[in-house]
Chain A
């Protein structure tokens, strides 16, 4: 492991109008590690991921990915990471292969390499047999696997996974984490993930940062967090750090749209 962090976040803040969503957040992620970013709903996780993935500009502070300033060189930075958003971002009217192929073109992967890489990844994620089926016929777990396979197509240095196991059954979740853990060996990729399942973070993450109310409240390995809080499970540690109060998020326009769509699709 080299000593330069692959991700360096220094004193970033993001405000939307008068709301301060992320408030002076700093952390480093080392190359090759699996880094879990935990926090209750509305704590600032997704906003932070959006800033790291060039979708939002931080109000203040600096972000570096592989030594490149994220806001100064968004295009260069984009080539270096893959991302699986919380919401699916596949085209369900296209086949698995077509989704992969379009991604390859968008990331300037040459045709020959693209084919080879699509095949390797679809096999790795056990989707090769279904490559010519429309994505809308896939199960939730298959869609997630396809998204991860797609995110890896351009051989990124960092893979962002925003709640990759949300809505999956225990079997698919288990399989998902097996895949994620294998990635380090097969792809040498750094993984930055968020999840609400503490047992999962406990199992896969090398290091964990806990964010609450837009601020980092703890960083360290799972063992360190437990020790720090005097608890015996990561879940207990998490609750000790962030309290037991339930966070209400107001429904956004996106949530309302989703509801409309659910009715429409029937």
Chain B
């Protein structure tokens, strides 16, 4: 337990110390909120869908959580090449404890980043339907964070080179974001796209957040279904992460 805690604490401390990185990481979401949010707002409104900012805020929060959680995978590549990973691998502790500490740390950082973006959306004009829904939304955000931090651990344990991670960013993380319905409504999509959005775990995260934060009618699948899917995917990804991490050779 102490081992899990100390490795978790390490991730959180490093995040809180990296002020520049925190500010830099606001850039992407701010761009989407500012440029797309206000730029596409009038069209969205004319199509009879209401406020686009209101609609996309959960998507942008989901984006921040996804990117930050996946970034913990790249942090593992750094740790692998610049040493710290080895220090933990020769320690007399189970690999599983190390993996869980790291993954929970990465997930916590993602939740913190999600919180920051949530505050930014509030400033931009996003208004959740009820204050009571916010804590529930955070449980969902935490679940999304664990799902992707575990995926990042699995990937970070498998690939060894930075170039590999660029592939992951372009062919995995970006599609996960764009296919999640973070930026567009899910009903009425062309078949292929609809099918793709359904295999994307983030879809359920964003959908669930919408259901909680902007009203029941706005969840396409329903919050309960979203949570169920995320829990199932989370179990699979954590297992995959633990398995891949146990196979690392120094």
Q: Does A79 lie within 8 Å of B92, measured CB to CB?
A: yes
| B3 proximity list for chain A (CB < 8 A) | 105-106
Is B45 in the interface zone, CB < 8 Å from A? no
A-B contact count (CB 8 A): 83
Is A69 in the interface zone, CB < 8 Å from B? no
Contact of B161 among A107, A108, A253 (CB under 8 A): A253
| B18 proximity list for chain A (CB < 8 A) | 93
Q: Does A78 lie within 8 Å of B90, measured CB to CB?
A: yes
Contact of A55 among B78, B82, B250 (CB under 8 A): B250
Interface centre among A94, A98, A257 (most CB of B within 10 A): A257
| B78 proximity list for chain A (CB < 8 A) | 261
Q: What total of chain B residues lie within 8 Å of the partner, measured CB to CB?
A: 31
Mask of A35-63 contacts with B, CB within 8 angstroms, 1/0: 00000000000000010011110000000
Is B168 in the interface zone, CB < 8 Å from A? no
Shortest C-beta distance, B162 to chain A (Å), equals 5
Q: What residue of chain B has the Cβ atom nearest to residue A89's Cβ?
A: B83
Chain B residues touching A, majority SS: helix
A102 to B13, CA, bound (A): 13
Q: Does B14 lie within 8 Å of A261, measured CB to CB?
A: no
24 contacts between A and B (CB under 8 A): A50-B250, A55-B86, A75-B92, A78-B90, A78-B92, A83-B90, A87-B82, A88-B83, A89-B84, A89-B85, A91-B14, A93-B14, A94-B10, A101-B6, A103-B91, A105-B2, A105-B6, A106-B6, A107-B91, A107-B92, A253-B161, A256-B161, A258-B81, A261-B78
Report which B residues bind A (CB closer than 8 A). 2-3, 5-7, 10, 13-14, 17-18, 77-79, 81-93, 160-162, 249-250
Report which A residues bind B (CB closer than 8 A). 50, 53-56, 75-76, 78-79, 83, 85, 87-94, 98, 101-103, 105-108, 253-254, 256-258, 260-261
